[in-house]
Structure 1
Amino acid sequence: MTERSNVYEPMTVARLGTLLAGADDSVRWRLVAEFLEEYRWEPARSRTALLEDEPARTGDEHWDVFLAALAEHVAARDGRDGPAWAGSRSLHRFWFPFNGRAARVDAVVHAPAAFRRRGVFVARQELEVA
């Protein structure tokens, strides 16, 4: 019999990708919020490890690209480059996860660079309260 470890481990972006696969959008946004919260609480020296491993494909290209943008965005907030795997992911058509007229305008104006560059238009405040 093996003993289960009760040691807390923060969510990695690779684990987030696994959890996003097959989930509906409301669950996906809660998972993104959980990742961001855990990332914020980690010491800066530990955060890089949360982004290193490339997430497996989720089955939805939008979310695959979102994960790359998210990894680059949080790394940039810490003054670092995004992980190497994130550079290869981008969309051919723009995606607005929050698709109301006002949300689209807000996202075009306020989407962080890591998201805009990949064709994902989500306003910065959506990432703060995701």
Structure 2
Amino acid sequence: MSDQAYRPMTVADLALYLKNATDDATRWRLIAEFLEEYRQEGVEGRGRLLLREPLSSGDQRWDVLLAALAEHLAARDGRGAPSWAEGRCLRRFWFPFNTPAARVDAVVHAPAAFRRRGVFIAPQELEVA
């Protein structure tokens, strides 16, 4: 039996896990786990999961996605984005799910926090958990 108490994953933890992941399928499973843990926290505790600035995941696209995710989740809870997320954006659009149908859906429906950073993802992709 471990002496460590359960601690939900933070966005900073998630970045480290993404850095060590070897493929995108694993990265999306990690994001799904983070989203599930985030949802399990009470609204008052969720903000602390987004506060600490994550180190680079080793891929600018995923770093920007984390900033968009933090802003998106904070906004859903009625809070502003963490300050570390503000300057992160892509110069070239990224479609993490790059099929013709997924691209159209993402262009039309991407949440504002993602769209303004150049990450085009449909909202249902964020409901994976």
Q: Aligned residues, how many?
A: 128
Residue 17 of structure 1, aligned match among 15, 18, 21: 15
Give the CA RMSD over aligned residues: 1.2
User: TM-score, structure 2 length as denominator?
Assistant: 0.96
1:33 alignment partner in structure 2: 32
Match of 2:89 in 1: 90
Identity over the aligned pairs, expressed in percent?
67
Q: Extract unaligned runs of 5+ from structure 1.
A: none
Partner of 1:44: 43
Report the TM-score when normalising by structure 1: 0.95
Q: CA deviation at 1:22?
A: 3.6
For the residues of structure 2 that align with 1:32 and 1:38, how far apart are their CA atoms? Answer: 10
Q: Are the counterparts in 2 of residues 14 and 56 from structure 1 also a CA contact under 8 Å?
A: yes
Aligned to 2:4: 6
Taking the aligned partners of 1:45 and 1:77, their CA distance within structure 2 comes to 13
State how 1:55-74 maps to structure 2 within 5 Å.
55-74=54-73
Query: The residue matched to 1:58 in structure 2 has which SS?
Result: coil
**Helix, strand or coil: the match of 1:21?**
helix
2:120 matched residue in structure 1: 121
Q: Deviations over 1:52-107 (max 9, x none)?
A: 00100011010000000000000011011010000010000000000000000000
**Cα offset for 1:4?**
4.7
Report the Cα distance in structure 2 between the residues aligned to 1:56 and 1:124, rounded to whole angstroms.
Answer: 25
1:88 counterpart SS class? coil
Paired with 1:43 and 1:73, the residues of 2 have a C-alpha distance of: 17
Whole-angstrom CA distance in 2 between matches of 1:106 and 1:5: 46
